[in-house]
Amino acid sequence: MSINLTANKLGAMMDGLGDALAETMTESGSSGATLLTLYHWGPISTTELSRIVGLSQPATTRLVARLRERRLVSTSSVEGRERPLELTTDGLEHAQYLQSQRLAILEQALAPLAAEDRENLDRIVSAILGGFVEGKKHARRICRNCDHQICVGGLCPVGKAARSIEWKGQKDDSGS
């Protein structure tokens, strides 16, 4: 089998999943990622949020302003110059809804697979995800929409790869 054929099928699968998610989700990709990021990592600064969701600082500021208008996001108490962002009660409920919708669509995509095939796919997806990771900050970007209550500790290939990179960097810095 040609690697190009497999790569092409993988791309089509990503497009199909992306379309299914976009049709069901009630938020744009950036808005949804912002709400889910604040759900799992908040309160955080606008600067950190922009790194995770992959938007420029001005674009993140505009997005946050729209989410504030909808009363989904608020500013927590002042910490120095930064004013960390957090979800409101409505924002928390909406983020939980988005997370459940996302998982329902992805579970539906896996439904045709036999249990053994799902286990094999999990192993393959874990290897691919681990190969993407460049470090801890990049890991948060990769997992910006993940349900961090499901994929914890050693179950998370992205976190595992980020820890490995971080450990290797510390080892290299110490001269070992």
pLDDT in tens, 124-170: 999 999 998 998 888 888 888 888 888 887 889 999 999 989 887 66
Cβ atoms 103, 109 nearer than 8 A? no
For residue 3, the model assigns a pLDDT of 86
Rounded Cα distance, 142 and 133, in Å: 8
pLDDT of 176 reads: 46
Residue 86 parent element (H or E) = strand 85-87
What's the pLDDT at 175?
52
| C-alpha–C-alpha distance, residues 102 and 144, integer Å | 12
Query: Pairing between strand 73-75 and 85-87?
Result: antiparallel
Q: What is the pLDDT of residue 2?
A: 86
Neighbours of 111 (CB within 10 A): 8
Q: pTM score, two decimals?
A: 0.81
**Nearest Cα residue to 83 out of 73, 93, 94, 96:** 73
Q: Which domains does the chain have, with CATH numbers?
A: 25-112 (1.10.10.10), 115-176 (no CATH)
Question: Which residues of the chain register pLDDT less than 70?
Answer: 77-81, 169-176
167 Cα distance to chain centroid: 22
Burial, 35: exposed, middle or buried (Cβ in 10 Å; 0-12, 13-18, 19+)?
Answer: buried
**pLDDT score recorded for residue 27:** 76
